[in-house]
Amino acid sequence: MPFPFLKLPPEIRNKVYNLLLITSHPHRSLTPDIIGQVVRGEFEWNMCPDMGDSVSLLRTCKLVHQEASSILYGSNWFYFMERPSLGEDDEDEDNGGADIPICDHMFVYPWLRLIGAQNRMHLRNLRLHFTGETFFYCRGESNRFTSEVVTRTGGEYLVDALEFLGRGHALAMIEIVFSPLECTDTEFKQMFQHLFRRRSESRLIRQMESFSGLKQLIVGDLYQEEMESCPEAYASFLSVKMGMEGKQPAEEPQGSVAAKPSHGKSLAKKIKELVEERDRLELQALETNQKLRDEVGKLQAIEDTLSQAQNALSEAQKHKSIFGG
């Protein structure tokens, strides 16, 4: 007999969804891999965890889909990145000698349309990985640090995706990760300084400026926990334009911009209330689960007693038949 899953309390069902749909690795995304082969004979890109048949749970019925999709899209990070190109012997370079990357950015916009408006509103965490090619293409000028001619791959798609997402979203956090490629720290600082002096020419920067409503913006380096080569003004500038203000607290990593100071106490209070509510629900779920086990035990005892009574009645009827009673 099938187990009546929907008869479980919502708290228990949510625990099941969490176990099935939340990836345990903080650096892996549910975004499907574009390539699954060895890159340049050195690295194998396998950022997407194997979810197995877990996501097929969403296809069982409308109620389960509604409950589970909010956890799938709201509790995982979705990671879009630029990757090394696959060509050999200069096949993967443009006329200016710049690498042509295998770029997830061109799939962000189709993916956002594919998951639908309701699931887009569930998205909470987005991680974007940029390299110099993307930023300098979006600036519309030559990249004098990596190539005379900029590779026109990925950047325009990312701008379209951010513009599309910015029309209506519930994102709480965007993490922007930069790869300095072969630039020195000095060149990298100069690159950002020049970029923001000419930011009016950058579609990507203009779009990021108009993206409002975030609780936190994180700027980091692909290879470091803190990005010393990125000017602090970069995060501060974007934070003001994106609806946040003030510098990050001292204990926060460089480049991390917290919510508005004026809302700090209310936000901390809200977090405390949510933690207390979560603990209460977990305790309630455990108590409910224990009660459920107790009730199942009682039911089993009743069934055993009933079976014994039926056996006794059957024996009595046989005895009566034999002796003609």
Closest CA to 80 of 219, 199, 174: 174
The pLDDT score that the predictor gives to residue 45 is 44
What does the alpha-carbon distance between residue 257 and residue 230 come to, in Å, rounded to a whole number?
A: 14
Q: Phi and psi (nearest 5°) for 78?
A: -115, 120
Ramachandran bin of 89, using left for φ above 0, alpha for ψ from -120 to 50, beta for the remaining angles: left
Ramachandran bin of 249, using left for φ above 0, alpha for ψ from -120 to 50, beta for the remaining angles: beta
Contact 162, 171 (CB under 8 A): no
pLDDT in tens, the chain (325 residues): 567 888 889 899 999 988 888 876 654 555 554 444 433 444 444 455 556 667 788 888 889 999 999 988 888 888 776 655 444 444 455 455 555 555 566 677 788 888 888 888 888 888 777 665 554 444 444 444 343 333 444 556 667 777 777 777 788 777 776 665 545 555 555 555 555 555 555 566 666 666 666 776 666 554 444 444 444 545 555 555 555 543 333 333 333 333 333 344 466 667 667 767 777 777 787 778 778 888 888 888 888 888 888 888 888 887 777 766 5
The pLDDT score that the predictor gives to residue 309 is 87
Edge to edge, what strands does the sheet with 216-221 contain? 77-80, 125-130, 173-178, 216-221, 256-257
- Measured between alpha carbons, how far is residue 191 from residues 105, 239, 242, 244, 252 in Å? 21, 19, 22, 24, 25
User: If you write DSSP's letter for every residue of 184-206 in order, what string do you get?
Assistant: -HHHHHHHHHHHHHTGGG-HHHH
How far is Cα of residue 238 from the mean position of the Cα atoms in its chain?
A: 21
The pLDDT score that the predictor gives to residue 48 is 54
The pLDDT score that the predictor gives to residue 261 is 37
DSSP secondary structure code for residue 37 in this structure: S
What does the alpha-carbon distance between residue 98 and residue 92 come to, in Å, rounded to a whole number?
A: 8
For the chain, the domains span 5-259
Structure-token pair, residue 259:
């919510």
DSSP secondary structure code for residue 87 in this structure: -
What does the alpha-carbon distance between residue 252 and residue 262 come to, in Å, rounded to a whole number?
A: 17
Contact 244, 214 (CB under 8 A): yes
pTM to 2 decimal places: 0.54
Contact 129, 102 (CB under 8 A): no
